[in-house]
Amino acid sequence: MASLVGAVMTSHVPAIGRAIAKNLQQDPYWKPFFDGYPRARAWLAEAKPDVVVAFYNDHGLNYFLDTLPTFGVGAAAEYANADEGWGIPTLAPVGGHPDLSWHIVETLVDAEFDVTTCQKMLVDHAVTLPMALLWPDADAWPVKIVPITINTLQYPFPSPGRCLKLGQAVGRAIASFDEDLRVAVLGTGGLSHQLDGTRAGFINKAFDMMSLEALVGDPDRLARYSALDIVREAGAQGFELVNWIAARGALGGRVEKVHAHYHIPISNTAAGLLVLENHDRVAVAA
């Protein structure tokens, strides 16, 4: 059976891609951010996942405001990266795991989630930049992926509680998949930030720190917020926190915090990183 080894949650700011392309990792502005990642890479080297299930939000590469599913699951053999207009280099395609993808889709539908199944799918910076941060020296991506999109762009949003349940259902799907795979989950985005409007530049450090703590020991605390509560506390784009909540939901009740990092600001964004090791794999399958 598949084994869910843990989770990595990380920011995905487009400016990170430009910094990587220009080798600015030691630049005084960027160094405090990049210094947070060696421990996450070391944990991944120890955990050796074969597949990463990535919860993220598409930024208009696959869907736009006229056709925007609440939840979408990739079921392709390969996922290409395309130019989104940010001026950052595109990265090599990432291999998929269609069998696991279809098992997740079937499990979600059985759990009464109405998902969009994408047999063709592009991945944007919300997937490729976390991958580049976590495996910066890889000649080819060392893992396959199953991308899962969550609508964070247009109201009505799924509630944080619904996103936690989505993650829990995905966790059950992984635990019941009849193949000897090591799987990690990835949640990307946030933390608090708002890019436009009267609150442009908004960052809420107190809420971010509470969220990092709750994701370890009490994810239900975040699930009790409404979607608009999260927008109020974390900013319009800070609603990406639900990707982290879904990733946490995939894990069991008992986790170990391996590493956490927080830095502000990066391009008007509160940048966060959290690595959790799963210690309750049996509970996920229940």
The ranges assigned to domains in the chain are 3-284
pLDDT at 82 over 90: no
pLDDT at 134 over 60: yes
Whole-angstrom Cα distance, residue 141 to residue 132? 9
Whole-angstrom Cα distance, residue 117 to residue 105? 7
- Give mean pLDDT, residues 130-141: 90
Residues labelled catalytic: 125, 193
pLDDT of residue 284: 42
pTM over 0.85: yes
pLDDT of residue 283: 38
Task: Find where tokens 């990463």 sit.
Answer: 52
pLDDT of residue 205: 97
Most confident of 185-189, 252-256, 265-269: 185-189
pLDDT at 175 over 60: yes
Query: What count of Cα atoms within 13 Å lies in the side-chain half-sphere of residue 110?
Result: 10
Whole-angstrom Cα distance, residue 143 to residue 135? 10
Whole-angstrom Cα distance, residue 52 to residue 72? 16
- Architecture in CATH of 3-284: 3-Layer(aba) Sandwich (3.40)
pLDDT of residue 9: 98
- Give mean pLDDT, residues 240-263: 96
Give the three-class secondary structure for 116. Answer: strand
- Give mean pLDDT, residues 271-286: 74
pLDDT of residue 190: 86
Q: Taking all residues of the chain, what is their mean pLDDT, rounded to a whole number?
A: 93
Tokens representing 220 are 């239900």
pLDDT at 286 over 90: no
pLDDT at 171 over 70: yes
pLDDT of residue 140: 85
Q: What percent of the chain has pLDDT over 70?
A: 98
pLDDT in tens, 33-59: 999 999 999 999 999 999 999 999 998
pLDDT in tens, 88-118: 888 889 999 999 999 999 999 999 999 999 9
pLDDT at 150 over 70: yes
pLDDT at 267 over 50: yes
pLDDT at 61 over 90: no
Give the three-class secondary structure for 110. Answer: helix
